[in-house]
Structure 1
Amino acid sequence: MKTLRNSLFLSALAATIGVLLLLSGTAVPVYAQYVAPHTNPGPAADSITFKRVPLDLAAAAVEGKEVDAYIFGLRPSQAKAVAGRPGIRLYPAPSGLYSLVLNPAPAPAGELNPLSDKGIRFALNYLINRDFIVRELFAGFGAPMVVYLTPWDYDYISNIDVILRYDFRYDPAYAIQIIDERMRALGAEKIGGKWFYQGKPVTIKFIIRVEDERRQIGDAVASDLEKAGFTIDRMYMEFGPAIETAYNTDPGELRWQIYTEGWG
């Protein structure tokens, strides 16, 4: 299985997307001497009551003083709606990440999986607009990832040579230049702006989750792939069917080729 899947996150050798989501109701730990907010001896509170609050109602529960704190991540739209309101404080903290995982399994004779080619996978680094995703889809509550570590990881500096060497950015013209070269080397031909292999359109099966921003991420990436000449089968799925297809089927069956992952 390991040889048939790319690693998560973006690197020079495996083209996946990573966006770190910076939304949380938890404070970032600060390792300094604690100063109590009162002068009375004893605990700051006599009791703590835990209450389950659905994510969709979290912001309203805090604003309505139904709960004093919500210790979990918020959706970007929720955070944007309550940011700056009196009596509400948001604590940015790494709370999840989104990525694309690619299936590089070779296709059977007579077919072509373009993602089996390392050069095409590499080109996707320049075909994914991470800045747009962070700015528009996550309302700024996030940060692009171009390697498997975030800028807040201590070992991030160990990847600085890769980051500087390849200058990963949204550059569709450059991505298409690489894709065109590699696709022709693989025996495909471009007709009317679309790739064909042995007379059939080169199709990429793209599992797109529908529960959150991954729907918009998937559509944006799919549109750029279509502009590069690929035919995209947009397979919109919820959690169960998506997990079953992406993780519990033989990659060699090519029932999927890209999946919008999410971790949090």
Structure 2
Amino acid sequence: MKAGNKFGKVLSLLVLFAMLISSLYVVSQSANSLPASTSITIISYNGNDANGILAFEHGQIGFYAYSVPPSEYTALPPGAKAYLMPATYYDVLVNPLNTSFGFNPFQFQEVRFALNFIVNRTYFVDNILHGYGIPSITLYAGEQDVLHLQNTLAKYAYIHYNFTYANETIYRVLTAHGAQYVNGKWYYNGKPIVVYVFVRTDATVRREYAEYFITQLEKLGFTVQQVQGNLQKEISFVYGSDPANTTWDILIEAWGGTYGYYDAGLAEGLYGTLAGDAPFTSYYGLSFGTYNDSKYEPQLLLKEANEIDNWSLILAQSQFTSEQEYYQLENDIVNVGINMSVRIGLGISLIPQYVLPTISGVYPSYAQGTLLNFQTYLEIANGSYPNVTIGVRYLSQGSANPGVGFTDAYTDEIANGLFAPQYLYVPGSGYQIPYIYTYKIVSLSPNSSAVKVPTNALWWNPSKQAVTYVSPNTTAQMAVIYNL
């Protein structure tokens, strides 16, 4: 494997990958004839999506392995194929604590909840994702557990874009707490109420939506100050800061590989504090896993945080006694999470990954998970040519040493495309099962009824939360043989 830079700067971050992959090649060769190509060249575009897209449009790379909106492509090579993949979950993260230096209007839960009426999920999917997405008020946007959240979701069916309602609610709450609305602008103690929005300049979807959301905040009368930065700055500036003593109020979050979570884990990890991902504190977890901010929190927020974490512990420790109890706990967490409005759901992107017509072997990655994860690089072939060239946003923005763990999403994405994982999760649970396997793709077709599934085949039935036999006359798009 070779790693290079579009502009001639050779990067050696994947040398270790090349060393390790040779042993994987020997192990897999007899069973699967892998890798499919004699070499894989990975070119980094150092965050410049436009150059990566341009290289693909001119046929210089087989595909650009990063989710970018279709609007970024001005032209496509003749015969280019599009693979529609669930890509990234998006939400609005709101700092719910009043900061030590100013007046944070989002310390009030009613104000945070009112943001549900201006985030405009329809605009987000139609205009930012260009129709390639699923809007969602919760952390769930297509996962199987949505089927079991209908009782909770029905309670919030009235939520839609309603600027007038949001404006009236925010006016009522802020004026009741001493803020002044003068000539279309909010003030507190004679100073403008400033909302600090962190804008990811290296992520197209997040940047474009942040710009839209800023216009909504300004229309409400807030003075908005942008804090611009990349992934590394976001990690330190937002997730590495104490929410009670910081200069951020709003962040457009993105969670790649959302389908890698087991379903209850979404609510446990992102609505509660146990995973260290929340900007507030409970009796069980700290703000961002580090700061004890309970003394700065309104009692309602602390009460809700404790409720979520109590329920989460029951789920995480499998202390529930029935399917009904399991889903009731999940509904309870989601209900409180929506009301808390610290993480306000936008939806999940269904981003097409465009690939040159000569490239084959592109399909869901069975090494990463049982649902659509892009990409298993070892299967990729390029017509009659012996090698494949792939463009990526970054080779790495952290440690590329698999022995001590990868420290950034870009390294992790490439590693997942090259190596089989050490374990999988049991469906619906956080328990890990270690394994080693090889697999072979028997049939792959765009036709969803191409493969007739044997009646003795087993599948995970989400409605029953159990492994059952498939129904008669079941068909599938592809067939895979696993050797465990």
TM-score norm. by structure 1 comes to: 0.72
1:112 to 103, 108, 112: 103
Deviates more, 1:116-125 or 1:174-183: 174-183
Classify the secondary structure of the residue corresponding to 2:40: coil
CA–CA distance in structure 1, aligned partners of residues 100 and 52 of structure 2: 49
1:164 matched residue in structure 2: 154
Which residue identity lines up with residue 223 of structure 1 in the other structure?
A: T
Classify the secondary structure of the residue corresponding to 1:91: strand
TM-score norm. by structure 2 comes to: 0.41
Distance 1:245 1:67, change over 3 A: closer
2:144 to 133, 147, 154: 154
2:246 matched residue in structure 1: 254
CA–CA distance in structure 2, aligned partners of residues 202 and 254 of structure 1: 15
Distance 1:58 1:184, change over 3 A: same
1:221 matched residue in structure 2: 213
| 1:99-128 deviation digits (Å, cap 9, x = unpaired) | 22111112349x421111110110001111
Distance 1:192 1:262, change over 3 A: same
2:478 matched residue in structure 1: none
2:123 matched residue in structure 1: 132
Distance 1:82 1:182, change over 3 A: same
Map 1:43-62 onto structure 2 (within 5 A): 47-48=36-37, 49-54=39-44, 56=49
Distance 1:140 1:54, change over 3 A: farther
CA–CA distance in structure 2, aligned partners of residues 62 and 240 of structure 1: 27
| 1:69-107 deviation digits (Å, cap 9, x = unpaired) | x48443113675567x64222111111123221111123
CA–CA distance in structure 2, aligned partners of residues 181 and 201 of structure 1: 18
Classify the secondary structure of the residue corresponding to 2:166: helix
Map 1:1-264 onto structure 2 (within 5 A): 47-48=36-37, 49-54=39-44, 56=49, 70=63, 72-77=65-70, 81=74, 86-108=78-100, 111-150=102-141, 152-166=142-156, 167-211=158-202, 212-264=204-256
Distance 1:164 1:248, change over 3 A: same
CA–CA distance in structure 2, aligned partners of residues 159 and 71 of structure 1: 36
Query: Would you say the 8 A contact 1:113–1:204 is kept in 2?
Result: yes
Query: Would you say the 8 A contact 1:105–1:254 is kept in 2?
Result: no
Give structure 1 regions of 4+ aligned residues with deviation exceeding 3 angstroms.
42-47, 53-68, 70-74, 77-83
Which residue identity lines up with residue 74 of structure 1 in the other structure?
A: S
Query: Would you say the 8 A contact 2:117–2:166 is kept in 1?
Result: yes
2:303 matched residue in structure 1: none
2:9 matched residue in structure 1: none
Distance 1:82 1:252, change over 3 A: same
Deviates more, 1:163-172 or 1:111-120: 163-172
Classify the secondary structure of the residue corresponding to 2:81: coil
List runs of 5+ in structure 2 lacking aligned partners. 1-30, 257-484
CA–CA distance in structure 1, aligned partners of residues 35 and 95 of structure 2: 54
Which residue identity lines up with residue 75 of structure 1 in the other structure?
A: V
CA–CA distance in structure 2, aligned partners of residues 210 and 95 of structure 1: 19
Larger Rg: 2
RMSD: 2.8
Could you tell me how far 1:138 is from its partner in structure 2? 2.1
Deviates more, 1:158-167 or 1:170-179: 158-167
CA–CA distance in structure 2, aligned partners of residues 159 and 120 of structure 1: 25
CA–CA distance in structure 2, aligned partners of residues 89 and 190 of structure 1: 53
Could you tell me how far 1:54 is from its partner in structure 2? 4.2
Could you tell me how far 1:185 is from its partner in structure 2? 2.0
Which structure shows the bigger proportion of residues in strand conformation? 2
CA–CA distance in structure 1, aligned partners of residues 59 and 82 of structure 2: 15
Which residue identity lines up with residue 85 of structure 2 in the other structure?
A: A
CA–CA distance in structure 1, aligned partners of residues 181 and 59 of structure 2: 60
Could you tell me how far 1:237 is from its partner in structure 2? 2.0
Q: How many residues align?
A: 219
Classify the secondary structure of the residue corresponding to 1:95: strand
Which residue identity lines up with residue 145 of structure 2 in the other structure?
A: D
User: Equivalent pairs: percent with the same residue?
Assistant: 26
Which residue identity lines up with residue 163 of structure 1 in the other structure?
A: L
CA–CA distance in structure 2, aligned partners of residues 197 and 91 of structure 1: 51
Query: Would you say the 8 A contact 1:62–1:88 is kept in 2?
Result: no
CA–CA distance in structure 2, aligned partners of residues 258 and 186 of structure 1: 21
| 1:119-178 deviation digits (Å, cap 9, x = unpaired) | 01100011112222222222222222211101x211113332333322322111111121
CA–CA distance in structure 2, aligned partners of residues 97 and 116 of structure 1: 25
Could you tell me how far 1:217 is from its partner in structure 2? 1.1
CA–CA distance in structure 2, aligned partners of residues 82 and 157 of structure 1: 39
